[in-house]
A and B are shown apart, each in its own frame.
Chain A
Amino acid sequence: MIGVLGIAEIVEVKELAQTVVFAFVAGVGVTLIFSLAIWGAARFVDLSQEDRPVAAGAAAGAAGLALLALAAVVVIGVIVMTSK
């Protein structure tokens, strides 16, 4: 019978734990970044209609930064796919 310690040796717990942590962070991070982009875009529309150009510009900037971060994530994803 393979015990718990045996399973731990076979599965390489350190790699699995790394996978779980990084995959969780990446999964949540992608959604959070994109949500911030949408928040920025939505606020930009609202603030522009309220005639508050500075705040609208800041919201647009936040949306732009979030989209840039998302683009970086996509590029990293393609690199991971091509280099495995």
Chain B
Amino acid sequence: MASDVILVLVIGAALAFDFTNGFHDTANVVATSISTGAARPQVAIAAASLLNFAGAFISISVAATVANDVVDAAAITPTIVFAGLIGAIAWNLVTWYFGLPSSSSHALIGGVVGSAVAADGFQVVIAEGLLGKVLVPALVAPLLAFVAAGVSIGLAYRVIGRQRPGIVSRGFKYGQVLSGGMLALAHGTNDAQKTMGVITLALIANGSLGAGSEPPLWVIVASAVAIAAGTYSGGWRIIKTTGTRIIKMDAAQGFTSQGAGAAVILTSTHFGFPLSTTHVINGGVMGAGAAKRLSAVRWGVAGNIVVAWVLTLPAAALIGAVAYGVTSVFGSGAVGPVVVTAASLAAIGAAFVRRAQRGAPVTVQSG
């Protein structure tokens, strides 16, 4: 009975993480299209939502990197996964609150690593996996996107520099519809799978599924719906940061950030080096701005974003560890996870009420 309650809480937390992943990462897909006027905000978000939903169905191979490559799989229990998800959700909400684009994948990995360490000590961490699969790609991704977008926009300006601005601008805006679509599809394929993987692992750990099982249809559908709903709800704060606060971009820069970003993500995926969509797109936006004029980039905003990237793993790990610590105070049954869930919901509710009392949500149109 207790294990079934924990399983339900893990599934609920995983779907909640999927929802925050959707609205947190909406900005990666739509921010540049909205800020250049390539698409109306609601249309861009609705399209991104649909493509994220579709992307979740494209591939169903379970992405269990979290369990297999960064922590000892044998040490993972549903309670560790639950506490890790709480760490990831909390960090996603904190960065959303401050309008900072950060990697949801790193938040999930950090949360699970933190809760696993709190449960079994540092020996469960697979240092090689953490370094090779997470930390080094985290350094390479934004730099690669920065350079690729910078070189790309330089070439683009050379090619179309003497043409009529109206045709050029319209052309790149049409292009952004395509590049934004590819990004949304890639995001749905990548990120919805993480939730499917987490839920499937919990079902296997609970004995509800056999070892090596693929995610059941209801898990795929629920994950797709959660990420699509999160995307549709739109994380306006982060959209504003990515779309207007790093640089004031033209349509060519918007296309370059998305086009070069999508190409970088898909090429890296092909070679088995998963990169963070958030890091790639924001690195690309900075590169497209810096190539035009170094001072075009608001380096203060860019610095805040980089600080959030650096803090994501340790902060989510710390919250995950604390969440696990609190659950273990109540023993190994379901009481701990229930208490943590209730406390988390209360904290989220209080944050939303506080935000509502301080004024209307930040929107791109407002400024």
Contact = CB atoms under 8 A, between A and B. Distances in A.
B238 to A, nearest CB: 23
Contacts of B168: 38, 42
A20 interface: yes
A81 B58 contact: yes
A22 B175 CA distance: 22
B53 interface: no
A74 interface: yes
A11 B153 CA distance: 30
Given A26-B264, A80-B269, 19 more contacts: A11-B131, A11-B136, A23-B267, A26-B266, A27-B144, A28-B151, A30-B262, A30-B263, A32-B155, A34-B156, A35-B156, A35-B160, A74-B182, A77-B182, A77-B263, A81-B59, A81-B266, A82-B59, A84-B61
B120 interface: no
A31 B147 contact: no
Contacts of A77: 182, 186, 262-263, 266
Contacts of A84: 59, 61, 189, 269-270
Interface in B227-262: 252, 255-256, 259-262
Contacts of A28: 148, 151-152, 155, 260
Interface residues of A, number: 41
A15 B155 contact: no
A11 to B, nearest CB: 5
A23 B131 CA distance: 21
A28 B260 CA distance: 6
A5 interface: no
B127 interface: yes
A38 B172 contact: yes
Contacts of B263: 23, 26-27, 29-30, 73, 77
B167 A38 contact: yes
A4 interface: no
Q: Pick from B128, B167, B267 the residue with the most CB of A within 10 Å.
A: B267
A66 B272 CA distance: 28
Contacts, number: 145
Contact of B131 (A7, A19, A31): A7
B365 interface: no
Interface of A: 2, 7, 10-12, 15-16, 18-20, 22-24, 26-32, 34-39, 41-43, 45-46, 70, 73-74, 77-78, 80-84
11 contacts: A19-B268, A19-B271, A24-B264, A26-B264, A27-B259, A27-B260, A28-B151, A46-B164, A70-B178, A83-B59, A84-B61
Q: Pick from B131, B153, B266 the residue with the most CB of A within 10 Å.
A: B266
B185 interface: yes
Interface string B141-184: 00011011101110110011001100110011001001100100
Contact of B171 (A12, A15, A23, A37): A37
Contact of B136 (A16, A32, A42, A78): A16
Given A11-B131, A22-B271, A80 B159 contact: no
B201 to A, nearest CB: 19
A78 B4 CA distance: 39
Contacts of B262: 30, 77
Nearest to B272: A15
Nearest to A29: B263
B273 interface: yes
A7 B55 CA distance: 34
A27 B261 CA distance: 7
Contact of A42 (B163, B256, B271): B163
Given A35-B155, A45-B167, A23 B160 contact: no
Nearest to B153: A31
Contacts of A38: 159-160, 163, 167-168, 171-172, 175
